[in-house]
């Protein structure tokens, strides 16, 4: 087993353990608090998941750095950093909507080396390594991901997301209106990590979103890249913060002209 595969194996093991914890909390009355805005929630399930992941990674890789959504970051000495979202789609999770995930990636100075996104509700695991393939492992078996058929924008199903900040949402509205008027349709479900992986699996033709953070996208963006999709950064404009876009090459360029 090479170094990339070893790191991926650890990411998968941590994601699966965290998924078990989250399934155990699901459906219970949970303590929550707000972060950046009153609608940006964190629950005791988020915290329990991240604590488990961090302890597991620290035991196996004590010299690596760590960047997670809920806990303070730490700088390691190995040149590697783990980027973790212990529960991507917290609001969905709290409302009982089965579109949430665990996202774990590891990166170095060159970028992401390996990543895993686990969808515990469906029993689906999306993985990729820098020099390997993007794969989906499910209850029906496993397959290599190659994205979906390349479509024109008018035939494309696009996924996106909205910011917690109401000022940013107001700026996103006209962008979504432009894209929605030209595309087949737009979907907004709430887990950026899964949106990226579903694009890699061909369930969407494209995905774009602003206000994403490294832990939201590190693993999913690698899955898209290794599935042959183009992943672009969206530049900052006034009330539109940093974002990313993922799609097959021709569609990526066409959609970027509308949303960037």
Which residues make Cβ contacts (< 8 Å) with residue 228, sequence separation at least 6? 146, 147, 248
Asked: is 153-259 a CATH 1.50.10.10 domain? The reply is no
pLDDT tier at 26, thresholds 50, 70, 90: confident
pLDDT tens digit sequence for 125-138: 999 999 999 999 99
User: How many C-alpha atoms does 64 have within 13 Å on its Cβ side?
Assistant: 23
Minimum mean pLDDT among 67-71, 246-250, 253-257: which range? 67-71
* pLDDT score, position 35: 61
**Residue 171 class from Cβ within 10 Å (0-12 exposed, 13-18 middle, 19+ buried)?**
middle
Q: Which CATH architecture has domain 3-144?
A: 2-Layer Sandwich (3.30)
Contact 202, 173 (CB under 8 A): no
The DSSP code for 154 is: G
Sign, CA dihedral 149-125-53-121, equals positive
**Phi, psi (rounded to 5 degrees) for 117:** -125, 120
* pLDDT score, position 182: 96
C-alpha dist (Å) from residue 115 to 54, 83, 228: 15, 9, 16
Question: pTM for this one?
Answer: 0.94
* pLDDT score, position 243: 95
Q: Say yes or no: do domains 3-144 and 153-259 share a fold.
A: no
Contact 243, 210 (CB under 8 A): yes
- pLDDT value at 229 more than 70: yes
pLDDT tens digit sequence for 1-10: 699 999 999 9
Tell me the C-alpha distance between 241 and 11, whole Å.
29
Contact 187, 236 (CB under 8 A): no
pLDDT tens digit sequence for 138-157: 999 999 999 998 889 999 99
Residue 94 has which token pair?
């709290």
User: How many C-alpha atoms does 34 have within 13 Å on its Cβ side?
Assistant: 6
Strands (E), the chain: 32-34, 41-43, 65-68, 81-88, 101-108, 111-119, 124-129, 135-138, 141-144, 157-159, 185-187, 206-210, 230-234, 243-247
With a pLDDT cut of 90, the percent of the chain lying above it is: 83
Mean pLDDT over all residues of the chain? 93
- pLDDT value at 44 more than 90: no
Q: What is the mean pLDDT of residues 17-40?
A: 78
Contact 137, 12 (CB under 8 A): no
Domain coordinates in residue numbering, the chain:
3-144, 153-259
90: nearest Cα among 41, 52, 29: 41
pLDDT tier at 170, thresholds 50, 70, 90: very high
- pLDDT value at 41 more than 70: no
With a pLDDT cut of 70, the percent of the chain lying above it is: 95
Q: What is the mean pLDDT of residues 64-93?
A: 93
Tell me the C-alpha distance between 88 and 80, whole Å.
22
């Amino acid at each position: 087993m090479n170094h990339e595969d070893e790191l991926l194996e650890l990411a998968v093991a941590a994601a699966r353990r965290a998924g078990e914890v989250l399934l155990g909390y699901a459906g219970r009355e949970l303590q929550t608090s707000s972060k950046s805005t009153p609608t940006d929630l964190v629950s005791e399930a988020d915290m329990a998941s991240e604590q488990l992941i961090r302890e597991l990674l620290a035991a196996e890789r004590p010299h690596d750095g760590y960047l997670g959504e809920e806990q303070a970051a730490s700088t390691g000495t190995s040149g590697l950093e783990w980027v973790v979202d212990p529960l991507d789609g917290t609001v969905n999770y709290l409302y009982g909507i089965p579109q949430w995930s665990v996202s774990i990636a590891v990166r170095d100075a060159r970028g992401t080396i390996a990543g895993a996104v686990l969808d515990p509700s469906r029993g689906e695991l999306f993985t990729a390594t820098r020099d390997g393939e993007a794969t989906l492992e499910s209850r029906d078996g496993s397959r290599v991901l190659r994205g979906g058929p390349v479509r024109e924008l008018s035939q494309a199903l696009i996924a996106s997301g909205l910011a917690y900040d109401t000022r940013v949402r107001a700026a996103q509205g006209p962008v979504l209106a432009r894209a929605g008027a030209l595309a087949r349709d737009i979907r907004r479900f709430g887990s950026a990590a899964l949106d990226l992986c579903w694009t890699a699996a061909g369930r969407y033709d494209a995905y774009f979103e602003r206000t994403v953070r490294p832990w939201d996208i590190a693993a999913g963006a690698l899955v898209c890249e290794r599935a042959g999709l183009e992943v672009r950064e969206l530049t900052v404009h006034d009330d539109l913060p940093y974002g990313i876009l993922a799609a097959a090459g021709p569609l990526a360029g066409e959609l970027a002209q509308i949303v960037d």
